[in-house]
Amino acid sequence: MQLVFEECDVDGVNLAPSARKIFNGTGGVIGRGAGCDWVIPDPSRLLSSHHGLVAYREGRYFLTDISSNGIGVAGSTERLCKGQARLISEGDVYQLGPLAIRARLVVPVPPRGEQWDVAGGTIPDDAFLALDPIHSLDLEHQHQTRSQDLEALDESVDAAGPWADQSTANRDHLAIPRRAEAVQETPQIHSVTMPPPASEAFWAQFAAALGIGLDTLDRSGREALAIKAARLLRMGVEGLQQSLRTCEELKGELNLSPVDTVLKSRNPLKDCVDADAALAMLLGAGDLGRLPAEQAINQAHRDLQTHQVALLAACRSAIRNTHSAFAPGHLLMCFEYQDKRPRFSSDGGHWRAYQRHYQRLIETDQGSDRLPGGDFAKVYEEQVRLISTLHVGFPG
């Protein structure tokens, strides 16, 4: 069975009979990209480079939406679910961006002419006289009224003796052509179309890279899985870039130095402004001086992990310094150093001394914008330096 797609308007009327595509027992990709099986020009660029995926399984055709703008069904509000195959029926009209295509299912019918089975030799001139219906009825009536004795005589006459000339009989008595019986067409059981051997090697490497098995999926299922993996890769790159930007903003708020400015200038995840540019550099041949894709991703994750561990160590140090700064013994020493010892060692005198001490800290700008202890950045940088020494011998 063949699938014929023709361009038409939304009502299903053909606009250009030449704009069509025939799928003969195979699938393919529809879009405006140069690598598609059916390339449809679209100056408005509403049609995606790879818009729809046609699959052929068990004698039926299916259409899968792999576009960014979606595929609709003309005449209704129904839209195809992205990534899910939909059975194609006769007369279906699908809306692909600004275009509409109508589906036709054509079953090729072999020509059936009257066939004659001829035993061989030259056909005599009176061979077709037996096709006269009246003559046929007479012969049938004679066969029905013949007795068994006459049939026995006919059998004895028809039996050829050993002296009979076989060559003469074959030459004089030719077989009359008879109408051949119609051949009963047996339904064909179409097996699932398997990928060619050349693509099996690719799918084996693809499954090994993902770490999952693809033996239970057919060709359309594998292609849908590859598209989903590409979409997840883009989401991961976007999230990783956003985490790196948030980390840099937090370092600026805390007056912390960057982890490694040299590696930052070589990492596409940190230099590129969006995911499109980052993916183009990660999946491309790579510019001179840039980190390879694997090292760039490992280095970005390592920076985030280093920042989290160093920030935790610095926060713990700040909390310990805060506890020490407001310890009673430390406050009494500060009071004595400032010669503001109260006349009476009462709770009220201590409280007034503490208020004066706190006001002095505010006036000297030691407690407004700086973290307690003043060594938050120092502990952070020491922790970063310690973690960096653990990864000296590793790439990225």
Which whole number is the average pLDDT over 357-386?
A: 72
Mean pLDDT score, 239-267: 77
CA distance 103 to 4: 6
Q: Strand ranges (DSSP E) for the chain?
A: 2-8, 20-24, 28-31, 38-39, 52-57, 60-65, 71-73, 85-87, 93-96, 99-106, 116-117, 178-179
* % of the chain residues with pLDDT over 70: 65
Which of 199, 233, 196, 203 lies closest to 217, judged by CA?
203
Confidence of residue 234 (pLDDT cuts 50, 70, 90): very high
The yes or no reply on domain 2-106 and CATH 2.60.200.20 is yes
Identify which of 41, 46, 58, 54 has the alpha carbon closest to the alpha carbon of residue 80. 54
Model confidence band, residue 285 (pLDDT cutoffs 50, 70, 90): low
Of 11-15, 92-96, 381-385, highest mean pLDDT: 92-96
Q: Which of 377, 334, 390 is nearest to 359 (CA)?
A: 334
Q: Where residue 190 falls among pLDDT bands split at 50, 70, 90? A: low
> Given this model, what pLDDT does residue 228 score?
93
What are the tokens at 36?
A: 């598609």
Per-residue pLDDT tens for 323-351? Answer: 887 787 877 777 776 655 555 567 777 78
Q: Enter the tokens of residue 192.
A: 């699932």
Mean pLDDT of 156-170: 47
| Rounded mean pLDDT, 237-241 | 92
pLDDT at 358: 78
What integer is the mean pLDDT of 289-297? 84
Task: Map out the domains of the chain as residue ranges.
Answer: 2-106, 208-302, 311-390
Quick: pLDDT tens for 75-102.
888 999 988 889 999 999 999 888 899 9
Laid out side by side, the sheet with 99-106 consists of 20-24, 2-8, 99-106, 93-96, 71-73
Rounded to whole angstroms, the Cα distance separating 395 from 302 reads 11
Beta bridge mates, 112:
none
Instruction: Evaluate the CA torsion angle 40, 41, 46, 50 in order and state its sign.
Output: positive
